[in-house]
A = this chain, B = another copy of it.
């Protein structure tokens, strides 16, 4: 199975790197500058699960040719259009595309570009970043990638991918109900991102206010109602897990979106909070807190762009 990974950044570089390290046939589609650095120093990972540095195959846009069996895609949502263009030449009739973005809004554009049959469901749990010298720095113990057929069950291609991931130093979940899992992550992420951005504060700080916990729970319920309407109500365990994270007293947790916002950068606000709100509205569900959080994010973007 020939696997193409778009970029060699904090997420794609990590999972693609773990695959390559484990012996899978992986190529990174990168810009020329990144290709030179990888040729010189190899792909470097710093992680509690083991540091690594090893040579990897790279290709650049102008040398990209032929079709890959699997394309791993882990861009920021606001770079999705550009990323679709970048990988398009590598996607043929037999190719599959595995996006590991947050939320669900990217499936529409990916299906439109490649056909729904080529787009596998995926998500990941990892906290990683790029170091100053281009190395991938994995920050804690969590490094899970989850994938599966969006229609449910398994297939030869997802089995093959699971086999490639088998010996890799990351936790792999080949899920027969990937969309349920994607929704369960989404109903945790959307309130976390929406609330920590709207309040410009960590979960613990929000919990220390008079009404923060009540508001957090209400925003979770807005999102859970959207998931239920889509046929993916969070299961009791997922609900407890999400509410546990979202209401944990003293927690320093914020969404990466809130950190992006405080750093003055672009955010995935429309992709995560905006998409959830639009789904709520399409379902005829009131979602006043999602609406307020999205307005905050939109005001931020307008101000940021001056």
Contacts and interface: CB of A to CB of B under 8 A. Distances in A.
Interface of A: 198-201, 205-206, 208-212, 215, 288-289, 291-292, 294-296, 298-300, 302-303
Given A198-B198, A200-B200, A205 B299 contact: yes
Given A209-B295, A295-B211, A200 B300 contact: yes
Nearest to A298: B209
Contacts of A212: 295, 298-299
A215 B295 contact: yes
Given A288-B288, A292-B289, A294-B210, A299 B215 contact: no
Contact of A210 (B201, B289, B295): B295
Contacts of A210: 294-295, 298
A290 to B, nearest CB: 10
Contacts of A206: 295, 299
B200 A299 contact: yes
A199 B294 contact: no
A299 B211 contact: no
Given A198-B198, A200-B200, A205-B303, A215 B298 contact: no
Given A198-B292, A199-B296, A289-B292, A302 B211 contact: no
